[in-house]
Amino acid sequence: MNILENTPIVMYDNLCYLCTKFAKFVNFLARGNLTIIGHYTTQGEEIRDKILDDSALEMFWLVDKKTAYGGRAALLPLIKAIFSSKKKATNQIDFDDSCLQECKTVKSVFIRSASLLSNSKKIEFT
């Protein structure tokens, strides 16, 4: 699979309950028109190795044909992608709601929310 073939791609932490809920909500808003991939899947590892840097696991990412946006920098492009993407995503998303970490607590919600607002990165492709 060519990675950039199915853009825009939303990458999220598929081992985190809250992040999985976020990805489900994005998928619902986009009506399945975005490709959503977990960080810890085979495709996610391939994207992290080829495109993203060491900070990839610290935030969610939106990857389009020219740029990868992470965290806070990805919010506006994500909203634009939700409303402008017309191509149906080719992969079926299997969301796993099981969580082995303590990410369902109120403290975790605040920590993940603060993390979203404090982390921001933009990687342009050459």
Q: What pLDDT shows up at residue 86?
A: 74
- Label residue 106 left, alpha or beta by phi (over 0 means left) and psi (-120 to 50 means alpha): alpha
**Residue ranges covered by each domain of the chain:** 3-124
In the chain, which ranges are continuous DSSP H helix?
17-29, 42-50, 75-84, 106-118
Q: Which two tokens stand for residue 114?
A: 């603060």
Q: What tokens appear for 12 in the block?
A: 């999220």
Give the least confident one: 48-52, 58-62, 102-106. 102-106
Q: What is the pLDDT of residue 79?
A: 94
Per DSSP, 59 falls in state S
Beta-carbon contacts of residue 52 (< 8 Å; ≥ 6 apart) = 11, 61, 68, 70, 123
Q: For the segment 68-101, what is each residue's pLDDT rounded down to a tens digit?
A: 999 999 999 999 999 887 766 555 566 665 555 5
